[in-house]
Protein backbone atom coordinates (compact mmCIF):
# COMPACT_ATOMS: atom_id res chain seq x y z
CA UNK A 1 0.00 0.00 0.00
CA UNK A 2 1.21 3.55 -0.71
CA UNK A 3 2.01 5.62 2.37
CA UNK A 4 1.93 9.30 3.35
CA UNK A 5 3.37 10.81 6.50
CA UNK A 6 3.57 14.13 8.29
CA UNK A 7 4.04 15.89 11.61
CA UNK A 8 1.84 18.41 13.35
CA UNK A 9 3.54 21.09 15.42
CA UNK A 10 1.22 22.74 17.89
CA UNK A 11 2.97 26.08 17.38
CA UNK A 12 2.84 26.00 13.56
CA UNK A 13 -0.40 27.96 13.23
CA UNK A 14 -1.81 29.38 10.01
CA UNK A 15 -4.44 31.57 11.65
CA UNK A 16 -7.73 31.46 13.50
CA UNK A 17 -10.57 29.63 11.76
CA UNK A 18 -13.17 32.34 11.21
CA UNK A 19 -16.69 30.93 11.57
CA UNK A 20 -17.60 32.98 8.49
CA UNK A 21 -15.65 30.49 6.39
CA UNK A 22 -18.73 28.28 6.44
CA UNK A 23 -21.04 30.51 4.46
CA UNK A 24 -23.49 29.79 1.66
CA UNK A 25 -25.36 31.77 -0.96
CA UNK A 26 -29.02 32.31 -1.82
CA UNK A 27 -29.75 34.06 -5.11
CA UNK A 28 -33.00 34.94 -6.81
CA UNK A 29 -32.33 32.31 -9.42
CA UNK A 30 -34.29 29.22 -10.43
CA UNK A 31 -35.66 27.48 -7.33
CA UNK A 32 -33.17 28.78 -4.78
CA UNK A 33 -35.70 31.10 -3.12
CA UNK A 34 -39.09 30.02 -4.49
CA UNK A 35 -39.78 26.34 -3.60
CA UNK A 36 -36.26 26.26 -2.13
CA UNK A 37 -36.13 28.20 1.12
CA UNK A 38 -39.59 29.79 0.64
CA UNK A 39 -42.74 27.86 -0.15
CA UNK A 40 -45.93 29.02 1.55
CA UNK A 41 -48.35 26.11 1.55
CA UNK A 42 -45.63 23.47 1.86
CA UNK A 43 -46.56 20.94 4.58
CA UNK A 44 -43.55 22.06 6.66
CA UNK A 45 -43.97 25.83 6.01
CA UNK A 46 -43.57 28.23 8.93
CA UNK A 47 -46.17 31.01 9.35
CA UNK A 48 -43.83 33.20 7.23
CA UNK A 49 -43.85 30.61 4.41
CA UNK A 50 -40.28 29.36 5.02
CA UNK A 51 -39.78 25.66 4.37
CA UNK A 52 -39.28 24.09 7.80
CA UNK A 53 -37.61 20.98 6.39
CA UNK A 54 -35.04 23.19 4.62
CA UNK A 55 -34.45 25.29 7.73
CA UNK A 56 -33.69 22.07 9.64
CA UNK A 57 -31.19 20.98 7.00
CA UNK A 58 -29.54 24.42 6.87
CA UNK A 59 -29.02 24.27 10.63
CA UNK A 60 -27.68 20.72 10.37
CA UNK A 61 -25.30 21.80 7.60
CA UNK A 62 -23.81 24.31 10.01
CA UNK A 63 -23.93 27.32 7.68
CA UNK A 64 -22.84 30.52 9.43
CA UNK A 65 -23.29 33.28 6.82
CA UNK A 66 -25.62 33.53 3.81
CA UNK A 67 -24.97 35.93 0.93
CA UNK A 68 -28.09 37.37 -0.76
CA UNK A 69 -29.79 38.32 -3.17
CA UNK A 70 -27.17 37.61 -5.89
CA UNK A 71 -25.08 36.90 -7.81
CA UNK A 72 -25.75 38.13 -11.29
CA UNK A 73 -29.35 38.86 -10.28
CA UNK A 74 -28.34 41.75 -8.04
CA UNK A 75 -26.92 43.77 -10.92
CA UNK A 76 -30.43 44.55 -12.20
CA UNK A 77 -32.27 44.46 -8.87
CA UNK A 78 -34.33 47.21 -7.28
CA UNK A 79 -34.31 46.30 -3.60
CA UNK A 80 -37.43 48.42 -2.91
CA UNK A 81 -39.44 45.98 -5.08
CA UNK A 82 -38.99 43.36 -2.37
CA UNK A 83 -40.24 45.27 0.67
CA UNK A 84 -43.68 46.38 1.85
CA UNK A 85 -47.06 44.72 1.37
CA UNK A 86 -46.60 41.67 -0.86
CA UNK A 87 -49.74 42.46 -2.89
CA UNK A 88 -48.20 45.78 -3.97
CA UNK A 89 -44.88 44.35 -5.10
CA UNK A 90 -44.14 44.38 -8.83
CA UNK A 91 -43.25 41.43 -11.03
CA UNK A 92 -40.03 42.15 -12.92
CA UNK A 93 -37.79 40.58 -15.49
CA UNK A 94 -34.87 38.79 -13.89
CA UNK A 95 -32.42 39.70 -16.65
CA UNK A 96 -29.56 37.62 -15.32
CA UNK A 97 -31.47 34.36 -15.67
CA UNK A 98 -34.22 35.22 -18.20
CA UNK A 99 -36.96 34.45 -15.66
CA UNK A 100 -39.74 36.34 -13.87
CA UNK A 101 -39.21 37.75 -10.39
CA UNK A 102 -42.47 38.06 -8.41
CA UNK A 103 -40.76 39.78 -5.44
CA UNK A 104 -42.80 37.80 -2.92
CA UNK A 105 -39.58 37.32 -0.98
CA UNK A 106 -37.29 40.26 -0.32
CA UNK A 107 -34.98 41.87 2.19
CA UNK A 108 -37.19 41.70 5.29
CA UNK A 109 -38.17 38.09 4.59
CA UNK A 110 -34.50 37.21 4.11
CA UNK A 111 -33.54 38.78 7.42
CA UNK A 112 -36.31 36.86 9.20
CA UNK A 113 -35.31 33.65 7.45
CA UNK A 114 -31.65 34.23 8.46
CA UNK A 115 -32.64 34.60 12.11
CA UNK A 116 -34.56 31.32 11.99
CA UNK A 117 -31.72 29.57 10.17
CA UNK A 118 -29.23 30.94 12.72
CA UNK A 119 -27.05 32.55 10.05
CA UNK A 120 -25.52 35.98 9.57
CA UNK A 121 -26.92 37.82 6.52
CA UNK A 122 -24.44 39.17 3.96
CA UNK A 123 -26.03 41.52 1.43
CA UNK A 124 -24.93 42.63 -2.02
CA UNK A 125 -25.83 46.04 -3.46
CA UNK A 126 -26.51 46.66 -7.14
CA UNK A 127 -23.58 48.44 -8.77
CA UNK A 128 -24.61 47.29 -12.26
CA UNK A 129 -27.63 49.45 -13.04
CA UNK A 130 -27.53 51.49 -9.84
CA UNK A 131 -25.04 53.39 -7.75
CA UNK A 132 -24.15 55.34 -4.63
CA UNK A 133 -27.62 56.64 -3.72
CA UNK A 134 -29.42 53.30 -3.87
CA UNK A 135 -26.66 51.62 -1.86
CA UNK A 136 -27.01 54.30 0.82
CA UNK A 137 -30.78 53.85 0.76
CA UNK A 138 -30.82 50.10 1.30
CA UNK A 139 -28.28 50.47 4.09
CA UNK A 140 -30.33 53.18 5.78
CA UNK A 141 -33.49 51.05 5.42
CA UNK A 142 -31.70 48.02 6.88
CA UNK A 143 -29.49 49.47 9.62
CA UNK A 144 -30.63 52.94 10.67
CA UNK A 145 -32.49 52.64 13.99
CA UNK A 146 -35.41 55.06 13.41
CA UNK A 147 -36.51 58.62 12.72
CA UNK A 148 -35.99 58.76 8.95
CA UNK A 149 -38.38 57.95 6.13
CA UNK A 150 -36.50 54.79 5.16
CA UNK A 151 -36.05 53.48 8.70
CA UNK A 152 -39.73 54.25 9.43
CA UNK A 153 -40.65 52.24 6.37
CA UNK A 154 -38.73 49.24 7.72
CA UNK A 155 -40.48 49.64 11.07
CA UNK A 156 -43.86 49.85 9.31
CA UNK A 157 -42.94 46.70 7.42
CA UNK A 158 -42.66 44.82 10.70
CA UNK A 159 -39.03 45.23 11.82
CA UNK A 160 -38.81 47.73 14.70
CA UNK A 161 -35.17 46.86 15.37
CA UNK A 162 -32.50 47.53 12.76
CA UNK A 163 -31.46 44.51 10.77
CA UNK A 164 -27.88 45.31 11.74
CA UNK A 165 -26.29 43.77 8.64
CA UNK A 166 -22.49 43.95 8.91
CA UNK A 167 -21.25 42.39 5.65
CA UNK A 168 -21.95 44.14 2.31
CA UNK A 169 -20.72 43.26 -1.17
CA UNK A 170 -20.12 46.20 -3.51
CA UNK A 171 -21.78 44.60 -6.54
CA UNK A 172 -21.19 41.19 -8.04
CA UNK A 173 -18.69 39.96 -10.65
CA UNK A 174 -18.40 43.39 -12.22
CA UNK A 175 -15.42 42.11 -14.25
CA UNK A 176 -17.69 39.77 -16.23
CA UNK A 177 -18.95 40.89 -19.66
CA UNK A 178 -22.17 38.90 -18.92
CA UNK A 179 -22.94 41.17 -15.97
CA UNK A 180 -25.75 43.71 -16.41
CA UNK A 181 -23.88 47.01 -16.11
CA UNK A 182 -20.43 45.38 -16.54
CA UNK A 183 -17.67 47.93 -16.05
CA UNK A 184 -13.99 48.42 -16.65
CA UNK A 185 -11.77 47.98 -13.59
CA UNK A 186 -11.19 51.71 -13.47
CA UNK A 187 -14.88 52.62 -13.65
CA UNK A 188 -15.87 49.96 -11.13
CA UNK A 189 -13.02 50.89 -8.79
CA UNK A 190 -14.09 54.55 -8.71
CA UNK A 191 -17.77 53.67 -8.20
CA UNK A 192 -16.98 51.10 -5.50
CA UNK A 193 -14.77 53.60 -3.63
CA UNK A 194 -17.45 56.32 -3.74
CA UNK A 195 -20.15 53.85 -2.70
CA UNK A 196 -18.05 52.54 0.17
CA UNK A 197 -17.28 56.03 1.41
CA UNK A 198 -20.95 57.01 1.33
CA UNK A 199 -22.15 53.77 2.93
CA UNK A 200 -19.75 54.27 5.82
CA UNK A 201 -21.31 57.67 6.44
CA UNK A 202 -24.65 55.91 6.89
CA UNK A 203 -23.16 53.18 9.10
CA UNK A 204 -19.45 53.28 9.98
CA UNK A 205 -19.47 49.75 11.41
CA UNK A 206 -20.13 47.85 8.20
CA UNK A 207 -17.59 45.59 6.49
CA UNK A 208 -17.25 45.96 2.74
CA UNK A 209 -16.24 43.56 -0.01
CA UNK A 210 -14.91 44.83 -3.35
CA UNK A 211 -15.45 42.63 -6.41
CA UNK A 212 -12.39 40.70 -7.45
CA UNK A 213 -12.33 38.37 -10.44
CA UNK A 214 -15.16 36.01 -11.22
CA UNK A 215 -12.58 33.31 -11.92
CA UNK A 216 -8.82 32.85 -12.09
CA UNK A 217 -9.26 32.15 -15.81
CA UNK A 218 -10.56 35.65 -16.55
CA UNK A 219 -8.11 37.40 -18.90
CA UNK A 220 -8.22 40.41 -16.59
CA UNK A 221 -7.45 38.44 -13.40
CA UNK A 222 -4.90 40.20 -11.18
CA UNK A 223 -4.81 43.40 -13.27
CA UNK A 224 -8.51 43.87 -12.47
CA UNK A 225 -7.80 43.56 -8.74
CA UNK A 226 -4.71 45.76 -8.91
CA UNK A 227 -6.69 48.57 -10.56
CA UNK A 228 -9.81 48.16 -8.41
CA UNK A 229 -7.73 48.13 -5.23
CA UNK A 230 -5.79 51.25 -6.24
CA UNK A 231 -9.16 53.01 -5.90
CA UNK A 232 -10.70 51.06 -3.04
CA UNK A 233 -7.89 49.80 -0.80
CA UNK A 234 -8.54 52.30 1.97
CA UNK A 235 -12.30 51.90 1.76
CA UNK A 236 -12.88 48.15 1.84
CA UNK A 237 -12.11 45.24 4.13
CA UNK A 238 -12.20 42.36 1.66
CA UNK A 239 -11.80 41.57 -1.99
CA UNK A 240 -13.87 38.73 -3.41
CA UNK A 241 -12.97 35.73 -5.51
CA UNK A 242 -15.22 33.19 -7.22
CA UNK A 243 -14.38 29.73 -8.55
CA UNK A 244 -16.37 26.86 -10.02
CA UNK A 245 -14.91 23.58 -11.22
CA UNK A 246 -16.31 20.55 -13.01
CA UNK A 247 -15.27 17.12 -14.18
CA UNK A 248 -14.49 17.33 -17.90
CA UNK A 249 -14.49 13.52 -18.21
CA UNK A 250 -11.10 13.54 -16.51
CA UNK A 251 -11.49 12.53 -12.88
CA UNK A 252 -7.74 12.81 -12.12
CA UNK A 253 -7.68 16.50 -13.11
CA UNK A 254 -10.95 17.17 -11.34
CA UNK A 255 -9.62 15.56 -8.14
CA UNK A 256 -6.55 17.79 -8.43
CA UNK A 257 -8.49 21.02 -9.00
CA UNK A 258 -8.06 22.39 -5.46
CA UNK A 259 -4.49 23.26 -6.45
CA UNK A 260 -6.03 25.87 -8.75
CA UNK A 261 -8.01 27.26 -5.81
CA UNK A 262 -4.78 27.38 -3.75
CA UNK A 263 -2.99 29.24 -6.54
CA UNK A 264 -5.90 31.64 -7.04
CA UNK A 265 -5.83 32.58 -3.34
CA UNK A 266 -2.03 32.88 -3.25
CA UNK A 267 -1.98 35.09 -6.35
CA UNK A 268 -4.74 37.32 -5.03
CA UNK A 269 -2.94 37.69 -1.71
CA UNK A 270 0.18 38.72 -3.65
CA UNK A 271 -1.84 41.25 -5.67
CA UNK A 272 -3.41 42.75 -2.52
CA UNK A 273 -0.03 42.97 -0.83
CA UNK A 274 1.49 44.59 -3.91
CA UNK A 275 -1.13 47.35 -3.75
CA UNK A 276 -0.61 47.62 0.01
CA UNK A 277 3.10 48.23 -0.59
CA UNK A 278 2.46 50.72 -3.39
CA UNK A 279 0.07 52.70 -1.19
CA UNK A 280 2.36 52.41 1.85
CA UNK A 281 -0.70 51.11 3.68
CA UNK A 282 -0.63 49.38 7.04
CA UNK A 283 -3.89 47.59 6.38
CA UNK A 284 -3.88 43.90 5.45
CA UNK A 285 -6.79 43.08 3.17
CA UNK A 286 -8.80 39.92 3.79
CA UNK A 287 -10.31 37.70 1.11
CA UNK A 288 -13.97 36.80 0.76
CA UNK A 289 -14.25 33.61 -1.33
CA UNK A 290 -17.95 34.27 -1.67
CA UNK A 291 -18.76 31.83 -4.47
CA UNK A 292 -17.09 28.43 -4.78
CA UNK A 293 -18.29 24.98 -5.70
CA UNK A 294 -18.51 22.25 -8.29
CA UNK A 295 -20.78 23.42 -11.14
CA UNK A 296 -21.39 21.51 -14.38
CA UNK A 297 -21.41 24.68 -16.47
CA UNK A 298 -21.07 22.79 -19.75
CA UNK A 299 -24.52 21.30 -19.09
CA UNK A 300 -25.97 24.70 -18.25
CA UNK A 301 -24.55 26.36 -21.36
CA UNK A 302 -26.08 23.72 -23.63
CA UNK A 303 -29.58 24.01 -22.06
CA UNK A 304 -32.05 26.44 -23.68
CA UNK A 305 -32.73 29.59 -21.64
CA UNK A 306 -35.97 29.69 -19.65
CA UNK A 307 -38.71 31.75 -21.31
CA UNK A 308 -39.61 34.30 -18.63
CA UNK A 309 -40.98 31.70 -16.22
CA UNK A 310 -41.12 31.98 -12.43
CA UNK A 311 -38.75 29.68 -10.54
CA UNK A 312 -37.85 27.18 -13.27
CA UNK A 313 -35.52 24.25 -12.63
CA UNK A 314 -32.11 25.79 -13.28
CA UNK A 315 -28.63 24.28 -12.70
CA UNK A 316 -29.92 21.69 -10.23
CA UNK A 317 -26.78 19.60 -10.49
CA UNK A 318 -26.87 16.10 -8.98
CA UNK A 319 -23.68 15.54 -7.04
CA UNK A 320 -21.75 12.29 -6.80
CA UNK A 321 -19.31 10.92 -4.23
CA UNK A 322 -16.51 12.15 -6.50
CA UNK A 323 -17.96 15.69 -6.40
CA UNK A 324 -18.21 15.51 -2.60
CA UNK A 325 -14.58 14.45 -2.25
CA UNK A 326 -13.53 17.34 -4.49
CA UNK A 327 -15.68 19.73 -2.42
CA UNK A 328 -13.84 18.38 0.64
CA UNK A 329 -10.54 19.34 -1.03
CA UNK A 330 -11.83 22.92 -1.56
CA UNK A 331 -12.73 23.17 2.13
CA UNK A 332 -9.20 21.99 2.92
CA UNK A 333 -7.83 24.72 0.66
CA UNK A 334 -9.89 27.36 2.50
CA UNK A 335 -8.70 26.15 5.92
CA UNK A 336 -5.10 26.20 4.75
CA UNK A 337 -5.55 29.89 3.87
CA UNK A 338 -7.36 30.82 7.08
CA UNK A 339 -4.94 33.69 7.70
CA UNK A 340 -6.29 35.61 4.68
CA UNK A 341 -9.59 34.00 3.67
CA UNK A 342 -11.99 34.78 6.48
CA UNK A 343 -15.32 34.78 4.62
CA UNK A 344 -16.35 32.04 2.19
CA UNK A 345 -19.69 31.02 0.69
CA UNK A 346 -20.38 27.75 -1.01
CA UNK A 347 -22.59 28.60 -3.96
CA UNK A 348 -25.35 27.98 -3.56
CA UNK A 349 -27.45 26.62 -0.67
CA UNK A 350 -30.67 25.09 -2.00
CA UNK A 351 -31.45 23.56 -5.43
CA UNK A 352 -29.08 25.76 -7.46
CA UNK A 353 -25.75 23.81 -7.46
CA UNK A 354 -26.52 23.06 -3.85
CA UNK A 355 -25.96 20.73 -0.92
CA UNK A 356 -29.73 20.75 -0.24
CA UNK A 357 -32.36 19.80 -2.82
CA UNK A 358 -36.13 20.05 -2.67
CA UNK A 359 -39.20 19.06 -4.61
CA UNK A 360 -42.05 21.52 -4.78
CA UNK A 361 -44.63 20.30 -2.26
CA UNK A 362 -42.38 17.32 -1.57
CA UNK A 363 -39.28 16.29 0.32
CA UNK A 364 -35.94 17.96 0.92
CA UNK A 365 -32.75 15.90 0.93
CA UNK A 366 -29.01 16.09 1.42
CA UNK A 367 -26.79 15.85 -1.64
CA UNK A 368 -23.39 14.17 -1.29
CA UNK A 369 -21.64 17.54 -1.01
CA UNK A 370 -23.66 18.27 2.13
CA UNK A 371 -21.47 15.94 4.15
CA UNK A 372 -17.93 17.35 3.83
CA UNK A 373 -19.29 20.86 4.43
CA UNK A 374 -21.21 19.74 7.52
CA UNK A 375 -18.17 17.91 8.91
CA UNK A 376 -15.80 20.82 8.40
CA UNK A 377 -18.27 23.46 9.64
CA UNK A 378 -18.82 21.41 12.77
CA UNK A 379 -15.30 20.32 13.62
CA UNK A 380 -12.91 22.98 12.22
CA UNK A 381 -12.54 25.27 15.20
CA UNK A 382 -9.81 27.27 16.89
CA UNK A 383 -6.59 27.59 14.88
CA UNK A 384 -5.72 26.13 11.51
CA UNK A 385 -2.37 24.33 11.73
CA UNK A 386 0.18 23.61 9.06
CA UNK A 387 0.27 19.90 8.24
CA UNK A 388 3.08 19.27 5.76
CA UNK A 389 2.83 15.77 4.29
CA UNK A 390 5.21 13.63 2.36
CA UNK A 391 2.65 12.10 0.01
CA UNK A 392 2.68 9.93 -3.08
CA UNK A 393 2.20 12.06 -6.19
CA UNK A 394 -0.43 11.76 -8.90
CA UNK A 395 -0.28 13.05 -12.47
CA UNK A 396 -3.11 15.10 -13.92
CA UNK A 397 -3.49 16.57 -17.41
CA UNK A 398 -4.89 19.90 -16.21
CA UNK A 399 -2.76 20.58 -13.12
CA UNK A 400 0.40 18.51 -13.51
CA UNK A 401 1.65 16.43 -10.59
CA UNK A 402 -0.18 16.89 -7.30
CA UNK A 403 -0.02 15.21 -3.88
CA UNK A 404 -2.34 12.19 -3.65
CA UNK A 405 -3.28 13.22 -0.10
CA UNK A 406 -4.39 16.74 0.72
CA UNK A 407 -5.23 17.67 4.27
CA UNK A 408 -5.97 20.39 6.82
CA UNK A 409 -5.75 20.40 10.60
CA UNK A 410 -7.34 22.58 13.26
CA UNK A 411 -6.81 22.71 16.98
CA UNK A 412 -9.38 23.94 19.44
CA UNK A 413 -7.71 24.53 22.83
CA UNK A 414 -11.03 25.46 24.46
CA UNK A 415 -12.59 22.06 23.81
CA UNK A 416 -9.26 20.21 23.62
CA UNK A 417 -9.87 18.84 20.15
CA UNK A 418 -7.68 18.33 17.13
CA UNK A 419 -9.53 17.86 13.83
CA UNK A 420 -7.99 16.40 10.68
CA UNK A 421 -9.64 16.63 7.26
CA UNK A 422 -8.13 14.31 4.67
CA UNK A 423 -8.71 13.66 0.99
CA UNK A 424 -7.24 10.73 -0.91
CA UNK A 425 -7.26 11.71 -4.59
CA UNK A 426 -5.95 8.36 -5.74
CA UNK A 427 -8.50 6.35 -7.73
CA UNK A 428 -6.38 3.22 -7.73
CA UNK A 429 -6.09 2.28 -4.10
CA UNK A 430 -6.00 3.19 -0.41
CA UNK A 431 -3.14 5.14 1.15
CA UNK A 432 -1.82 4.50 4.61
CA UNK A 433 -1.26 7.72 6.52
CA UNK A 434 0.87 8.28 9.59
CA UNK A 435 0.81 11.63 11.41
CA UNK A 436 3.10 12.42 14.32
CA UNK A 437 0.86 14.12 16.89
CA UNK A 438 3.25 14.15 19.84
CA UNK A 439 3.42 17.94 20.01
CA UNK A 440 -0.36 18.26 20.49
CA UNK A 441 -0.63 15.62 23.22
CA UNK A 442 -3.07 13.41 21.31
CA UNK A 443 -5.51 11.38 23.38
CA UNK A 444 -8.28 9.22 21.98
CA UNK A 445 -10.02 9.29 18.62
CA UNK A 446 -13.46 10.80 19.24
CA UNK A 447 -14.87 10.84 15.70
CA UNK A 448 -13.75 9.07 12.57
CA UNK A 449 -15.99 9.47 9.56
CA UNK A 450 -15.32 8.54 5.94
CA UNK A 451 -17.14 9.47 2.76
CA UNK A 452 -16.29 7.08 -0.07
CA UNK A 453 -18.06 4.46 -2.16
CA UNK A 454 -17.13 1.60 -4.47
CA UNK A 455 -19.10 3.59 -7.07
CA UNK A 456 -17.67 7.10 -7.05
CA UNK A 457 -20.54 8.24 -9.29
CA UNK A 458 -23.20 7.26 -6.73
CA UNK A 459 -25.55 10.13 -5.77
CA UNK A 460 -28.58 10.79 -3.58
CA UNK A 461 -32.03 11.57 -4.97
CA UNK A 462 -35.59 12.25 -3.81
CA UNK A 463 -36.37 8.55 -3.99
CA UNK A 464 -33.04 7.37 -2.57
CA UNK A 465 -31.97 10.25 -0.30
CA UNK A 466 -29.55 8.19 1.79
CA UNK A 467 -27.79 6.24 -0.96
CA UNK A 468 -24.59 8.08 0.03
CA UNK A 469 -23.82 8.96 3.64
CA UNK A 470 -20.55 9.12 5.55
CA UNK A 471 -19.70 5.92 7.40
CA UNK A 472 -17.84 5.44 10.67
CA UNK A 473 -14.18 4.84 9.86
CA UNK A 474 -12.41 1.85 11.38
CA UNK A 475 -8.88 0.78 12.10
CA UNK A 476 -7.45 4.21 12.98
CA UNK A 477 -5.10 4.01 15.97
CA UNK A 478 -2.93 6.35 17.99
CA UNK A 479 0.19 4.60 19.12
CA UNK A 480 3.05 6.38 20.88
CA UNK A 481 1.55 9.75 19.88
CA UNK A 482 1.37 8.75 16.20
CA UNK A 483 -1.90 8.41 14.30
CA UNK A 484 -2.15 5.63 11.76
CA UNK A 485 -5.13 5.36 9.45
CA UNK A 486 -5.99 4.15 5.98
CA UNK A 487 -7.60 6.52 3.47
CA UNK A 488 -9.78 4.67 0.94
CA UNK A 489 -9.43 5.63 -2.73
CA UNK A 490 -11.34 8.83 -3.65
CA UNK A 491 -12.38 9.58 -0.09
CA UNK A 492 -12.92 12.41 2.36
CA UNK A 493 -12.18 11.57 6.01
CA UNK A 494 -12.65 13.50 9.22
CA UNK A 495 -10.86 12.54 12.41
CA UNK A 496 -11.46 14.35 15.68
CA UNK A 497 -8.93 13.57 18.40
CA UNK A 498 -8.94 14.64 22.05
CA UNK A 499 -5.86 16.60 23.13
CA UNK A 500 -4.31 17.32 26.50
O1 LIG B 1 -23.99 31.06 -8.62
C2 LIG B 1 -24.42 31.26 -9.94
C3 LIG B 1 -23.79 32.48 -10.59
O4 LIG B 1 -22.43 32.26 -10.74
C5 LIG B 1 -23.87 33.78 -9.83
O6 LIG B 1 -25.04 34.46 -10.04
C7 LIG B 1 -22.73 34.57 -10.38
O8 LIG B 1 -22.22 35.49 -9.47
C9 LIG B 1 -21.73 33.50 -10.80
O10 LIG B 1 -21.27 33.70 -12.09
Note the pLDDT of residue 8: 97
What CATH number should be reported for the domain whose range is 18-379?
A: 3.20.20.80
Per the prediction, the chain carries an average pLDDT of 97
Note the pLDDT of residue 304: 85
**Residue 71 CA, ligand 1 centroid: distance in Å:** 5
Ligand 1 contact via 80 beta carbon (within 6 Å): no
Nearest residue to 129 (alpha-carbon basis) of 159, 86, 93, 100: 93
Percent of the chain whose pLDDT exceeds 70: 100
Ligand 1 contact via 70 beta carbon (within 6 Å): yes
Ligand 1 contact via 317 beta carbon (within 6 Å): no
Work out which ligand 1 atom sits closest to the CA atom of 348: 1
- Is pLDDT above 90 for 44? yes
Q: Which residue among 27, 80, 140, 291 is the active-site one?
A: 291
Each residue's pLDDT tens digit, 203-214: 999 999 999 999
**Residue 356 CA, ligand 1 centroid: distance in Å:** 17
Residues 6+ apart with CB under 8 A from 127: 75, 135, 170, 171, 174, 181, 183, 188, 191, 192, 195, 211
CATH of 2-10+384-499, one of 1.20.1250.20, 2.30.110.10, 2.40.30.260, 2.60.40.1180: 2.60.40.1180
- Is pLDDT above 90 for 222? yes
For the chain, give me the number of helices (H) and strands (E)? 11, 27
Minimal-distance CA residue to ligand 1 atom 8: 71
Q: Which residue among 101, 140, 173, 225 is the active-site one?
A: 173
Each residue's pLDDT tens digit, 271-294: 999 999 999 999 999 999 999 999
- Is pLDDT above 90 for 301? no
Note the pLDDT of residue 299: 82
CB 484 within 8 A of CB 434: yes
Task: Show me where the domains of the chain are located.
Answer: 2-10+384-499, 18-379
- Is pLDDT above 90 for 62? yes
Nearest residue to 208 (alpha-carbon basis) of 239, 181, 229: 239
Work out which ligand 1 atom sits closest to the CA atom of 29: 6
Note the pLDDT of residue 305: 85
The answer, as to whether pTM is greater than 0.85, is yes
Each residue's pLDDT tens digit, 367-396: 999 999 999 999 999 999 999 999 999 999
**Residue 22 CA, ligand 1 centroid: distance in Å:** 18
Q: Is 291 a catalytic residue?
A: yes
Work out which ligand 1 atom sits closest to the CA atom of 214: 10
Percent of the chain whose pLDDT exceeds 90: 98
- Is pLDDT above 90 for 24? yes
Minimal-distance CA residue to ligand 1 atom 2: 71
Ligand 1 contact via 214 beta carbon (within 6 Å): yes
Ligand 1 contact via 240 beta carbon (within 6 Å): no
Residue 122: which pLDDT band, with cuts at 50, 70 and 90?
Answer: very high
Amino acid sequence: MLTAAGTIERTAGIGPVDRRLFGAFVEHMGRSVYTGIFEPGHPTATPEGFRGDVLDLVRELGVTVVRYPGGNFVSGYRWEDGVGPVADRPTRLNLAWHTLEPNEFGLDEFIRWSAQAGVEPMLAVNLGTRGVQEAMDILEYANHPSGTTLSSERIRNGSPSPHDVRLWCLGNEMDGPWQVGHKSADDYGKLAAQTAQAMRLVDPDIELVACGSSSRAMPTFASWEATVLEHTYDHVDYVSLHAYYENHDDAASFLASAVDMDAFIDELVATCDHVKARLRSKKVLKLSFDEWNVWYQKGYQSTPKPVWEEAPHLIEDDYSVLDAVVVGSYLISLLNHADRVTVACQAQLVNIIAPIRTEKGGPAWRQTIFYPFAQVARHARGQALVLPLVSPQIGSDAYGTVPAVTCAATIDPQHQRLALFLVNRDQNGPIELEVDLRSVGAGEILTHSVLSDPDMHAANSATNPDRVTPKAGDGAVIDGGRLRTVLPPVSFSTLVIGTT
